[in-house]
Structure 1
Amino acid sequence: DVLLARSFGHLTGIAITLAHHPDPADPDPWIGLLLVDAGLHGQGHGRRLATLVEDRFRAAHRTAARLAVLDNNPKALAFWTALGYEVIDHREDLQVKRRCAVLRKELSAS
C-alpha cells in the first residue's frame, strides 16, 4: 500500500507498506518506506504518519510491524526507537546488499 500524508492540501510525506515480507518465515507486515518533506522534519509529521500506518496494521488484525534502517542512518534509527521499535537483527538488505538493522514493534490494541 502507498499512503500519502497531507497538511492543508500540501504533501508532507509518503509511506509504503508491505503486507508480507518475501521471507515466508517472517509473519509481520513491513514499513518499506516512510519519507517526510525535509523542510518539515521535527514537526511531528513522521510520527503521525507512522501512527497511521500502525493503526492500519491493527485494523487488519496484525500484532506487530517491522522495518529496516540502514546502518549508516543514525537519525532514522533514533526516530524509530523513540516510537518503540526495537532492533531484533542486523543483515543485508535484499536488493542492494547494504547492512541494516531490522526493527520490530509489538502493536497493542488501541
Structure 2
Amino acid sequence: MSTPTLRLIDRQVPNDVDRLQAVLEAAPGYSLAVEGKLPTPDAAIEVLDALPPGKDHSDKSVYEIALDAEPVGCLEMVRGYPETDIAFIGLLLFQEGSQGRGFGPQVLRRAEAIGISWQCRALRIAVIDTNPRALAFWEREGFIELLRKPAMDFVGQAIVMERALPAAEGI
C-alpha cells in the first residue's frame, strides 16, 4: 500500500485551491452529516480563510494529502489553539473513495510530528456528533472527550477531544 504524502496548500495558487475543492466535493457525506448540505463552490476558500478567535494565517496550515501525487484528502491544523501548547486539528478529511483504507492513522502520525515541532503537548479536535464514523475513528486513536458544546454553522454539537503528544507524555 502506498503511503500518503502531505503538501502545504498555498492559498495564492489557484491549482492548489482547485485541488482542495475537488477533495471537499468528493466527500459529500461529510458535509451532509455535519452541515446538512453539500459543499459550496467556495468550500475550499472557506476552509483556507477560516480562523479561530485570536489567530492569524501564520498560525494555520492546510495540507493536501496525496497518494501517488493525486489529492485524496486534506488536513487543517492551527498552532497554539485554544491554548499555546495545543495543536488543533480543524479538519482531517478523505474523499469517499479513500476512506476506510488505513490512511487516517498514517496522516495522524504526521499531524503528531507537526504538533511536536510546534512544541505542543497535545492534539485537540472537535467532532460534530452527527458524524459517528469520525467520532469512532478519534476514539480508536485514543482521543478522550473533554466537553460538548454548541457548534455554530453545524447541525450537531461539537465533541471536543484531546490526546497527549508522544514527546509530551509524563510531563
Separation (CA, whole Å) in 1 of partners of 2:139 and 2:112: 14
Q: Secondary structure at the match of 2:101?
A: coil
- Select which of 63, 74, 89 maps to 1:3: 63
Q: Tell me if the contact between 1:13 and 1:49 (Cα under 8 Å) persists in the aligned partners.
A: no
Amino acid paired to 1:17? M
Partner of 1:66: 124
Cα 1:20–1:61, aligned 2, differ >3 Å: closer, same or farther?
closer
Partner of 2:13: none
Q: Tell me if the contact between 1:12 and 1:45 (Cα under 8 Å) persists in the aligned partners.
A: no
Separation (CA, whole Å) in 1 of partners of 2:166 and 2:132: 26
Partner of 2:153: 96
Percent identity of equivalent pairs? 26
Partner of 2:79: 19
Partner of 2:167: 109
Separation (CA, whole Å) in 1 of partners of 2:79 and 2:69: 28
- Select which of 66, 75, 78 maps to 2:136: 78
C-alpha offsets along residues 1-21 of structure 1, whole Å, 9 cap, x if unaligned?
Answer: 011111111111100111133
Task: Give the gaps of 5 or more residues in structure 2.
Answer: 1-60
Q: Tell me if the contact between 2:73 and 2:95 (Cα under 8 Å) persists in the aligned partners.
A: yes
Q: Tell me if the contact between 2:79 and 2:118 (Cα under 8 Å) persists in the aligned partners.
A: no
Partner of 1:30: 88
Separation (CA, whole Å) in 2 of partners of 1:108 and 1:65: 10
TM score, norm. by length of structure 2: 0.57
TM score, norm. by length of structure 1: 0.86
Amino acid paired to 1:85? F
Q: Tell me if the contact between 2:116 and 2:165 (Cα under 8 Å) persists in the aligned partners.
A: yes
C-alpha offsets along residues 38-67 of structure 1, whole Å, 9 cap, x if unaligned?
Answer: 101111112211221111101221110100
